[in-house]
Amino acid sequence: GQSLEQPSEVTAVEGAIVQINCTYQTSGFYGLSWYQQHDGGAPTFLSYNALDGLEETGRFSSFLSRSDSYGYLLLQELQMKDSASYFCAVRASDKIIFGKGTRLHILP
């Protein structure tokens, strides 16, 4: 089966940097995605890593190490609007399986 582990909550200060880690166990791994979800809304796609290394998209970066079954999402220059839940998700075979999500609290 598949399982993903990520912290349930993280708190950071506006303007700071925060890293959300994700470890996974799966068979047939294709890649690791990250999604953002605000309260009451649907998840929105942030990034996808199929290969090892760092992918940067604006203030957000995502990293993958396939050998360690580990990835992280890095958010820089935090803004209050970044307060949300962040899910790592594994593409395994023909479907995407989500982690339990990390609730990011941002303090002014």
Partner 1 sequence: GAVVSQHPSRVICKSGTSVKIECRSLDFQATTMFWYRQFPKQSLMLMATSNEGSKATYEQGVEKDKFLINHASLTLSTLTVTSAHPEDSSFYICSARTRMGQGSTDTQYFGPGTRLTVL
Q: Return residues touching partner 1 (CB under 8 A).
A: 30-31, 33, 35, 41-45, 48, 50-51, 87, 91, 94-101
Question: How near is the Cβ of 32 to partner 1 at its closest, in Å?
Answer: 10
Q: Which is nearer to partner 1, 13 or 50 (CB)?
A: 50
Q: What number of H helices and E strands is found in the chain? A: 0, 11
Minimum CB separation from partner 1 for residue 15, in Å? 27
Residues in the chain: 108
Amino acid at 103: R
One-letter amino acid for residue 29 of the chain: F
Q: Which residues of 87-100 are buried (b: 16+ CB within 10 A; e: fewer)?
A: bbbbbbeeeebbbe
Shorter beta-carbon distance to partner 1: residue 43 or 71:
43
Please say which residue, 68 or 94, places its beta carbon nearer to partner 1: 94
